[in-house]
Amino acid sequence: MAKRSADPSNGSAPAARQVPMRDFSRSLPMSLLRAREAVMRQFRPSLRQHGLTEQQWRILRALAAIEAVEVTELARTAFLLGPSLSRILRDLEARHLIERKTAKADQRRSMVSISEKGVKLMASVAPSSEAIYAEITRRYGARKLAELQEMLGELEQSLAGLGAGDEAIAEE
Amino acid sequence: MAKRSADPSNGSAPAARQVPMRDFSRSLPMSLLRAREAVMRQFRPSLRQHGLTEQQWRILRALAAIEAVEVTELARTAFLLGPSLSRILRDLEARHLIERKTAKADQRRSMVSISEKGVKLMASVAPSSEAIYAEITRRYGARKLAELQEMLGELEQSLAGLGAGDEAIAEE
DNA sequence: CGCATTCACTTAACATGTTAAGTATCTCCC
DNA sequence: GGGAGATACTTAACATGTTAAGTGAATGCG
């Protein structure tokens, strides 16, 4: 349908087809990207209705289960880089959805926690969020979903030691 | 190690644990996000050495296999939103890695193609990129990788009809 | 023909991703 | 106890993600 015929009538066709590679659209990164987007597309409308972005929601969820965390650990939990987290925390604090106070023992650290208002917001979002997750599980199959997550985890594991490129491994 | 004990000495512990939900870190979106990041972390150093971002590389790869495409179709192929693509094309054109000319039949459309310089750049990146992909395949297992991609594709499929939230489905 | 709609982008504006640099605090060792 | 280095963030700067609005060119229809 969307197939494009060669159309040799093009007067000055530039270079192409010179670098043979795997079919791009079937690469692992693209598969992961598309799959994740297909999933997140389901959640975004509901979050948006409540004035939350995906990342803000991640932060609130990470905070909901604990009393307080340091920013660094929160970054690890919510899988955000420090600078992103720093900005988002500033905004969430301005909206009074979280609270921050510097640790007594170490003035460098600041402990972050969810506020009452944040808890209430979460409570208003959670039902719809759970419903969407349930629908995804229903469509894809609970067993298959668990298997997929298992395989994703193993993929992570198998790449764990491969480093960020310039860090020479120290233990051998 | 990183386990945090309750520490009841906290004078004014704010709200927490109020909204029971699935363990956040095991959610499907997070699994997909972490897996993709684990994969892309392998590729980024090599791309960066050649002055390319992940998205610029996606665009060049999408262009390498064809003579020319419209921007809209390129957006679909490279899985980028129009505005992102528009900016990146502007930059790639300024670097003479791609070429653009407006279609004869329809002045609105512009046909994008990779340039000679772009082809050469791709040729210099491709070997390392293929090597990395091969190493990932080796570590994870070729069969398992194919299976994973199959499952990711099925996940996409099973969510295909679920729409962007506000579009009423017409066929039932 | 004329004009409202649609279409194919591009711009704009704001949030986040990403790397590098800055700042304040803490630790350790002399 | 004092200064070098490490730590825990925060800022800065630039690229991309994301939605909405803008622009110019086709299309359709009265």
Say what the pLDDT of residue A140 is: 95
Q: Where are the alpha helices (DSSP H) in chain A?
A: 28-49, 54-64, 71-78, 82-94, 116-140, 142-159
- What one-letter code names the amino acid at A79? F
Distance from CA of B44 to the nearest CA of A (A): 8
Q: Exposure of A172 by Cβ count < 10 A (0-12 exposed, 13-18 middle, 19+ buried)? A: exposed
Footprint of strand C on the protein (CB under 7 A): A 53, 55-56, 80-84, 87-88, 91, 105-108; B 37, 40, 44, 48, 70-73, 82-83, 85-87, 89-90, 106, 108-110
Is domain B30-154 classified as CATH 2.30.30.40? no
- Say which of A41, A62, A63 has its CB closest to residue B164: A41
What percentage of chain A reaches a pLDDT higher than 70? 81
Say what the pLDDT of residue B168 is: 44
In tens, the pLDDT along A137-171 reads 999 999 999 999 999 999 999 998 765 444 443 33
- Which value does ipTM take for this structure? 0.85
Task: Decide if A35 and B32 are in contact by the 8 Å CB cutoff.
Answer: yes
Give the CA angle between residues B67, B68, B71 to the nearest 5°: 160
Nucleotide closest in space to B58 (CA vs C1'):
D16
Say what the pLDDT of residue A25 is: 80
* pLDDT per residue of chain B (172 residues) written in tens, 0 to 9: 333 333 333 334 455 555 667 678 889 999 999 999 999 999 998 999 899 999 999 999 999 989 899 999 999 999 999 999 999 999 999 999 999 999 988 999 999 999 999 999 999 999 999 999 999 999 999 999 999 999 999 999 999 876 544 444 333 2
In tens, the pLDDT along A46-86 reads 999 899 999 999 999 999 989 899 999 999 999 999 999 99
Domain limits, chain B: 30-154
Which CATH code, of 3.60.15.10, 3.10.310.10, 1.10.10.10, 2.120.10.30, is assigned to A58-141?
1.10.10.10
Distance from CA of A108 to the nearest CA of B (A): 18
Q: Angle, to 10 degrees, between the axis of helix A54-64 and the axis of helix A71-78?
A: 120
Say what the pLDDT of residue B112 is: 96
The spacing between the Cα labelled CA in A107 and the C1' in C23, in angstroms, equals: 13
Say what the pLDDT of residue B23 is: 77
More confident residue, A11 or B47: B47
What percentage of chain A reaches a pLDDT higher than 90? 72
Phi first, then psi: what are they for B67, rounded to 5°?
Answer: -70, -55
Say what the pLDDT of residue A16 is: 54
Say what the pLDDT of residue B19 is: 63
Report yes or no: A99 at the B interface, CB cutoff 8 Å.
yes
- Measured between alpha carbons, how far is B146 from B144 in angstroms, rounded to an integer? 5
Strand D positions closer than 7 A to protein CB: 7-13, 15-20, 24-27
Q: Give the mean pLDDT of A102-109.
A: 92
Interface contacts (A, B; CB < 8 Å): 257
The spacing between the Cα labelled CA in A134 and the C1' in C20, in angstroms, equals: 42
Task: Compute the Cα dihedral for B43, B48, B50, B52 and give only its sign.
Answer: positive
